[in-house]
Structure 1
Amino acid sequence: MNLMFLNSMEKTTAEGEVFTAQVSIGESEGSWIVMWNESPDEGLGAAETWYEGSEWSGMMKAFREHVFAKQCEGYTPLLEMQVSEMDGLDGRMAYMQPLHFYSERHAQEELYEALRQWRFKQASQEGKAPFIVATNRLLKMISAFVPQTEEELLQLPGFGKTKAASYSEAILALTAGRERMGSFPLTWVESAVDPAELNAWLLGEKERKLKAEADKREVKRRLLEAAQRGAKLDEVQEETKMQRRNLLLWLEELDRDGYDLEAFIEVMLEEVEEARIAAAWQAFEQQGDRYLKPILQAVFTSEELSAKDSDRAYEWLRLLRMKYRKANAVRQSAAS
């Protein structure tokens, strides 16, 4: 085994006790191993293998993530190590991450809630999911940096000219006259955040995303199993404890990925009047399938739907749209 890297780390407790450990990277015949060894204390020590394999990128990823985890526990390296989660990010991402971190810590809750209420109403009017109108992260940044002009809004990552044309007037009406801690441009933010806290947050975000991806795969698996056994959405919702809207969004993603959901869609559409389905299908033919609100308005009058009925109507329209898109794709393929 060739020792390629070795560093010692120390942690001082509130009682003044000092704990030491060593982190090392070794190599043998193309295989890497990353080890953590705590110094024995009263005859007891701890050793952990953080990585063992042949991939350099995988080894470095494990090394950085675990060193940062130890730093979050209070360990500091005796020799300075550059293991920042910011390493390797391009210029735009390196600029964006401190903005996201700062806004998470300094969002004005009252303004953030007002923005969330605006987003909910706007999404309902457009027949869109709220996150399409604006993500929580974007609303956090608006509530932290409090832009006062469209030019300032455009400096926020995720707020482009299309959103500005549609939403800037409403958003600026909510931010008008409110106090803010900094000014635009936001180049001052990077120096205003603690690098160690930023790194710990980035590591937490990475872990959160990995868990979210794992949870997403599990829900998709359950949806596919439900489709195979002819179950209904109510059963899946009861099993997963998830919002129906999210389940439908993931059904749409499974459909885009090429999974056969036709039997599941047919079961769900059995509860809908045939005349409604025919009217919606005709509306898709005439108006396209990009937006659902015009389809809803073509099928129902405003007096026919309560808020709850409207939510259920959007559900079966989403399912019917999946069926329509598949049929339309087959028709276009046959014509070409």
Structure 2
Amino acid sequence: MEIVFLNRLSKRNEQGCEDFAQVWIGQHEGRWSAGWSTHHVPDESIDDLWYEGSLWQELLHVYRHELALKMAEGYRPLIHGVFHEQKGSSGRGQTLQKLYCYSDLFPRDEVYEQLTMWRRQKAATERKAPYLIATNRLLRLISVYLPHTEEELLELPGMGQGKVSQYGTELLTITKQNDRTTPFPLNWVTETLEEEVFLSWLYKQKENQYRQELNKFSLTRAIIEGISEGLSLEHIGIKTGLHRKEVIEAVEHLDRDGMDMKKLILKELEHVSEEEQTAICSAYAELGDTLLKPIMLKVYGEEKATEAGLDQIYERLRLVRIRFRHQEVPDRHVG
């Protein structure tokens, strides 16, 4: 095997001594591998194979996730850039990350519960999704730093002038009921947080991010494999654990990314007459392909669509829309 990347890492153990490890990526006859070697005593190591396969992108997702776990444990690299990604945030971006870090490490749960109860009531009154009023992260910041003025509210990331004008008075009514032990401005946070504590928190955030990316990649790969194997939407759903509607949404996304969906669409539409498909395409040409309801009403009518089953009709419309958009591509480039 040819080693194409190798880096040494270390961390201090409970006895104050350094533990050493190596992370590596190798390649042999078109197959990639990545792993971790822990060195407990000279000339003795324990190897952990993280990945072995033919897909570089899959290796990268697994490698980043596993490495973030190790760095959250306290391992630090001899040479930076171990994640093989664009340079991380610095300056203002890192300052904001430290505000988030402190709020995670020193929560005020009782205040946070007050704020979430206020948000639920406000969302019900305004008929909005709760996150549109304030995200969990923003409420966490407010609960920990306890601003007492509108100017202090504006110091918190995610709290713009619009939200302050709309909700500031109500939020301050809650925060002023609670004693605070830390001042504004918040520049003390950077000085208070120990660098190693912050780095471990930061790598934990990376681990969560990379786990989500790995799950998404694995799911996408399973869908692509299912399509290439000639599976139906139903069987792809069984293979991936997704609801049928979620599979169609994934298929639409993959189509936009340039994946060939013809095989699957032909399979799913084989019981739909050419006359019906032509009527749907004609409706798209006349009304546009953004909204599905006008197409449904024009082709089927409300009563007929309800009788046939709205879920089935909308699924059919979405699949035909993929075909329609590919048929329309040459016309869009004319002239």
- TM-score w.r.t. length of structure 2: 0.55
Distance 1:47 1:246, change over 3 A: same
Kindly report the root-mean-square deviation, in angstroms, between the aligned alpha carbons of the 2 structures.
5.8
In structure 2, how many angstroms separate the alpha carbons of the residues matched to 1:7 and 1:228?
41
- The match for 2:140 is 144
Change (3 A) 1:249 1:83: same
**Residue aligned with 1:94, SS:** helix
In the alignment, what sits opposite 1:288? 288
The reply on whether 1:68 has 2:64 as its aligned counterpart is no
Partner in structure 2 of residue 241 of structure 1? 241
Aligned-residue sequence identity (percent) comes to: 23
- Looking at structure 2, the residues matched to 283 and 185 of structure 1 have their Cα atoms a distance apart, in angstroms, of 59
Equivalent position SS for 1:259:
coil
AA matched with 1:21: E
Q: Does 1:221 align with 2:218?
A: no
Distance in 1, matches of 2:169 and 2:271, equals 44
Give structure 1 stretches of 5+ with no counterpart: 13-17, 26-33, 51-57, 124-129
SS of residue paired to 1:242 = coil
CA distance in 2, matches of 1:218, 1:7: 28
* 1:255 counterpart = 2:255: yes
Higher RCO (CA 8 Å, separation ≥ 6 residues): 2
Q: Is residue 10–residue 19 contact of structure 2 (8 Å, CA) maintained in 1?
A: yes
Tell me the residue number matched to 1:11.
13
**Residues 323 and 9 from structure 1, CA distance in 2 versus in 1: closer, same or farther, beyond 3 angstroms?**
closer
- SS of the residue corresponding to residue 71 of structure 1 reads coil
1:38 to 9, 20, 40: 40
Consecutive unaligned residues of structure 2, counting only runs of 5 or more, are 1-6, 23-35, 50-59
Structure 2 distance, partners of 1:255, 1:215, is: 19
**What is the TM-score with the length of structure 1 in the denominator?**
0.55
After superposition, give the CA deviation of every residue in 1:284-316 in whole Å (9 maximum; x if it has no partner): 33443345566567666499669xx65555544
SS at match of 2:18: strand
Q: Kindly tell me: are residues 101 and 326 of structure 1, through their superposed partners in 2, closer, same or farther at Cα, counting changes over 3 Å?
A: farther
> How many angstroms apart in 2 are the aligned matches of 1:280 and 1:110?
51
Does the CA contact (< 8 Å) of 1:99 and 1:141 recur in 2?
no
- Any idea what SS the aligned residue of 2:74 has? helix
* Aligned-partner SS, 1:209: helix
Amino acid aligned to 1:252: E
Separation of aligned partners in 2, 1:185 and 1:145: 14
Distance 1:103 1:288, change over 3 A: farther
Answering whether residue 202 of structure 2 is matched by residue 202 of structure 1, we say yes
Give yes or no for the alignment of 1:21 onto 2:18.
yes
The answer as to whether partners of 1:21 and 1:38 remain within 8 angstroms in 2 is no
